[in-house]
Amino acid sequence: MKDIRYIFAIKEAMEEEMERDENVFLVGEDVGLAEGSFGASRGLYDKFGPDRVIDTPISELGFTSMAAGAASCGLRPIVEIMFMDFVTCCMDSIVNQIAKMRYMFGNQYSVPIVVRMPEGGGLNAGPQHSQCLEAWFAHVPGLKVVMASTPYDVKGLLKSSIRDDNPVIFIENKTLHAMKGSIPEEDFTIPLGKADIKREGSDVTIVTASRMVHESLKAADALAEEGISLEVIDLMTIQPWDRETVFNSIGKTHRLVTAHEAVKQFGFGAEISAAVTEEILDELDAPIMRVGAPFVPASYSLEKFYVPGADDVKNAVRKTMERSF
């Protein structure tokens, strides 16, 4: 095992897959000579050259559409969107082309594209550089959506995403980039669509992903002192999400809290809550509680009040513990 920062685990995953498969290439703004806005492609331009680490003009629609064509011809592009907010400029190529091509052409070819994008607050970057928009893509048939919370997870999931023959939206929370963690020296992957129980518990199930996994674990430590035992489930892949792991946990705890950094309304927590209500309502002993940001644009000066954290998780857990059907 070795210790590595989250951002360099991303770099290692891309480098190893580019070494393994000559069809893998990286494209985006400043991914080459500048080595990526957050350093994720450090050294890759020197190692693989301009034909496989491609700097582009500021045209997300242009280079994402180019990647769609490349994938349909047998290549495996990794597209970096500098900030998730900028994906609004290429929604046509992702939603109307990449997500639908395999369906529209009768499965005659695959569309192996990974679109990487950092999301979220924590850097006081303002409302146009801090949004969490994963629910948009989880709502689009044909796309897989991945959100990794640790260096180990981000490397294993990214390698699996690059090898997948379907388009994957790969979301990184910016505040996790500097996080250190241990990963194996040898090659490894983590399957898409499988959740991970980051902490076992008996009283309340928390279903979460990305940065909010760590906030939920902080809340679990604090609530343990109050005699409340939390089971923290890291979805890792929110589309498709691991119903079996979530439902089995609720069958044990009989209470559910969902937590994500995105605004609470219409987030992936709402989808999970609806599915639980429809399919295993009898397992619940109390109303489901949801944690998310307020329904306003991401704040600059008041960001610490806007972004949900451990205190919000604790309050939601206490509410569901206080209530019953």
Residues with catalytic annotation? 60, 129
Which residues neighbour 88 within 8 Å (Cβ) at sequence distance 6 or greater?
A: none
Q: Contact at 8 Å (CB) between 299 and 128?
A: no
Helix (H, G, I), strand (E, B) or coil at 233: strand
Helix (H, G, I), strand (E, B) or coil at 19: helix
Q: Contact at 8 Å (CB) between 81 and 133?
A: no
Tokens of 263: 């605004």
> Among 233, 200, 223, 204, which residue's Cα sits nearest to residue 314?
223
Q: Kindly report the backbone phi and psi dihedral angles of residue 24, in degrees, each rounded to the nearest multiple of 5, phi listed first.
A: -80, 130
DSSP 95: I
